[in-house]
Every structure is written in structure tokens, then in C-alpha cells.
Amino acid sequence: MKAIIYRDNGDSGVLELVDRDLPQPGPGEVQVRIAVSGVNPTDWKTRSGATNPKKFPEVTPHLDGAGVISAVGSGVDPARVGEPVWLFMATAGRPTGTAAEYTVVPASNAVPLPAGAGFDLGASLGVPALTAHRALTVAEDGPARLHPGALDGKVVLAAGGAGAVGHAVIQLARWAGATVISTISGPAKAALATAAGAHHVLNYREGDPVAAIREIAPGGVDIVAEVALGANLALDLAVLRTRGVIATYANDGGKPVQLDVRQNMTLNTRFQFLVLYTVGSAALAAAAADVAAAVADGALPVGEEHGLPLTRFPLDRTADAHRAVESGTVGKVLVDVSAGLPR
């Protein structure tokens, strides 16, 4: 099979296209023929060594993808062979991700794709959707699971609604019944956040965004899903309701975070810092189940008309895909791996 690998941390030039033997599923595992692989910022950061040093002599990157189960290990229902699935956390503690024609993952990390959900959608879930789910389920007096009505009466602020995680926050929050506000930096991104389903879209560089958000939510925002905590903290605290939560999954721009202790004591602010690698298996399983339900309801479509433009590359240009993500390409970057898989 064809696979992308790297042997050393470094820039995208360390990625190589090679031939490898098919990986065989062990007990409780499934082998998946990959149709589309999804690229996330964490993939290039892991490759570069920015987060952690490489743990295996050779690594095939990418946590997310979609394809068809081609074989199963012992303890897995043989009827799953031929099942279209989306994958999450493929390289968590493992050396073989989805940038290959075949990969092997625990059966629980291969989630059925319902009829009508294509491989592009499946490869766009994973990190963005599970991160969004976590951000929306950590409030002190909010739900631990998402379903229609779970966030009725709540107000969610999705910072950076044109990004992949922000897009998923908007879609999942709206599916669960929240009023969704998104902040963006310009007209093009405003169009994407609106297409994703945000009820209110505000340019944080214009006018008085705090006053505008307070007009929409006089009692304050219940949940902030934050992509740039250092840059946006003052705004977040100015619009947060008492006992609200700021769930942060990134600090784009790298601005240092300084907290006014008394202000946050008075608000009873809850800060939730989150990364999927250490969130725990129970949270991942719950998120995957709820995201699957949202997909079945048609609540998580992708494509520019739904607020998430898709930029794609063939497998032999995976290095270009990594460079696209590193350079801040808006939307979702995909790698086409195996053409013609039935769906």
C-alpha cells in the first residue's frame, strides 16, 4: 500500500511517500481502507515536534479520516466489513494514522457513517467536532451530553466561527438548541459563519462588539468556545454571565493570558482548557456518540455553502496539505487517498 511517513521531526519536507505492507487488525481492532484523510493543526505540530517528540521510529500522520472497514480483528463483529466509517484519534498512542491507503484503529474509533453522509464529511469530523462537543458540555449548569433541546435557552459565543472547530461549535450548538453568536474578522469569514448557522455574526474589529453581544444576550453568554484566549479574554469576560464558562482549545496569536483574580472570583468564571489527547476515554466516547447522532440528523454538513470550504490534495502532495494548514488556509484541508470507494 501507499503511505505517507516521517522518520524525524521537522518541517513538511520530512514527509515521504512510501510502499508499506498492509497493517493487520489485532483483537478489538478494524482495518480501514481510507478514502479521505483530514488534516488538523495538531497533525503538523506533532510532525514538527512542537508539541511532543516523536515516539515511534516511523509515523504515518493524521488523526482523522473516512473510509470503509476492510477487515476486523477478533472480538469485532465480522458484519462490520464493508461498513463506511469516520475515524478519530487514529494516531493517539499509535504510529499509523490515516495518511495511507489502509490503517488500523480500535473498533470504537471507527464510527459508522449514515446513508447520505459522504467521506468528505467523515474526514472533517474527528478533532473539530469532538473538540466542539467538549467545549459545549463543560458548563457548571449545562448538559454533559448534546441532543436537540440540550442547550435550549443557552447562548453560545463561537470565537472564530470560520475555523473548523468554530464551524463545528456553531453547528452542534444550533442543533442542540442554543442561540449562537460568532465573532469574525471580516466579510468573507462572516459569510462562512452565517452559512454554518450562526444566528448573529459580529466583526470584532468594528464598532463595540461587547455592546452588540450584550444587546443580543443582556444576561450574558453562557458558553464561550475560544480559539484565541489571550487576544479575546477581555471581550469574553465582558460578555460572560455569572457562572459562565470559557472553554479554550487554542491560543491563536500566542498573546499571554493575564487574569484579574477578583474579576473572575466575582463572576465565578469557569475556565476549561481542553485537548483531546488527555480528555479521557469516557468523554471521547460520549462526544463520538453525540456527533454521530448529529450527523444522522444532517446537522453537520461541510462545503463552502455550509460554511466550511474544502481544500484538497492527492496523497503524494500531503506535504502541501500540511503547508496549507500551517499557513492558515480557511476551512478544512483534505487529502484524497483512495478513489472510487463505494459510498
Residue 29 sits in a domain whose CATH number is 3.90.180.10
Does residue 303 belong to any structural domain of this protein? no
- Beta-bridge partner residues of 223: 156, 245
Residue 258 and residue 144 share a domain = yes
pLDDT in tens, 4-55: 999 999 999 999 999 999 999 999 999 999 999 999 999 999 999 988 788 8
Q: Are 222 and 198 in contact (CB under 8 A)?
A: no
Query: Which residues, other chains included, contact 16 with Cβ-Cβ below 8 Å and sequence gap of 6+?
Result: 4, 5, 6, 7
Residue 200 and residue 114 share a domain = no
Q: Are 193 and 202 in contact (CB under 8 A)?
A: no
Does residue 236 belong to any structural domain of this protein? yes
Domain count, the chain: 2
pLDDT in tens, 56-83: 999 999 999 999 999 999 999 999 999 9
Residue 339: pLDDT above 90? no
Pairing of strands 240-248, 179-184: unpaired
DSSP for 277-343 reads GGS-HHHHHHHHHHHHHHHHTT----BGGGTB-EEEEEGGGHHHHHHHHHTT-SSEEEEE-STT---
Residue 154 and residue 23 share a domain = no
266 pLDDT tier (thresholds 50, 70, 90) = very high
Does residue 290 belong to any structural domain of this protein? no
Domain boundary among 231, 261, 277: 277
Does residue 65 belong to any structural domain of this protein? yes
Residue 318: pLDDT above 90? yes
Does residue 172 belong to any structural domain of this protein? yes
What is d(CA 290, CA 147) in angstroms, rounded to the nearest whole number? 7
Instruction: Say what the pLDDT of residue 52 is.
Output: 78
Instruction: Say what the pLDDT of residue 130 is.
Output: 98
Does residue 225 belong to any structural domain of this protein? yes
Residue 31 and residue 110 share a domain = yes
Residue 137: pLDDT above 90? yes
Q: What angle do CA 222, 264, 154 make, to 5 degrees?
A: 5
Residue 269 and residue 164 share a domain = yes
94 pLDDT tier (thresholds 50, 70, 90) = very high
pLDDT in tens, 237-253: 999 999 999 999 999 98
Grid cell, residue 234, equals 477581555
Residue 323 and residue 257 share a domain = no
Mean pLDDT of the chain: 96
pLDDT in tens, 159-207: 988 899 999 999 999 999 999 999 999 999 999 999 999 999 999 999 9
Residue 236 and residue 119 share a domain = no
Instruction: Say what the pLDDT of residue 291 is.
Output: 98
Grid cell, residue 264, equals 473572575
* Residue type (1 letter), 21: D
Residue 119 and residue 98 share a domain = yes
Q: What is the DSSP letter of 113?
A: P
Residue 340: pLDDT above 80? no
Query: Which residues, other chains included, contact 155 with Cβ-Cβ below 8 Å and sequence gap of 6+?
Result: 178, 179, 180, 181, 216, 217, 220, 221, 222, 223
Residue 342: pLDDT above 80? no
Residue 136 and residue 109 share a domain = no
pTM: 0.96
Q: Are 35 and 54 in contact (CB under 8 A)?
A: no
Q: What angle do CA 69, 70, 72 make, to 5 degrees?
A: 80
Does residue 74 belong to any structural domain of this protein? yes
Residue 343: pLDDT above 80? no
Domain boundary among 277, 300, 320: 277
Does residue 288 belong to any structural domain of this protein? no
Structural domain including 61 reads: 2-124+308-336
Q: What angle do CA 183, 130, 250 make, to 5 degrees?
A: 50
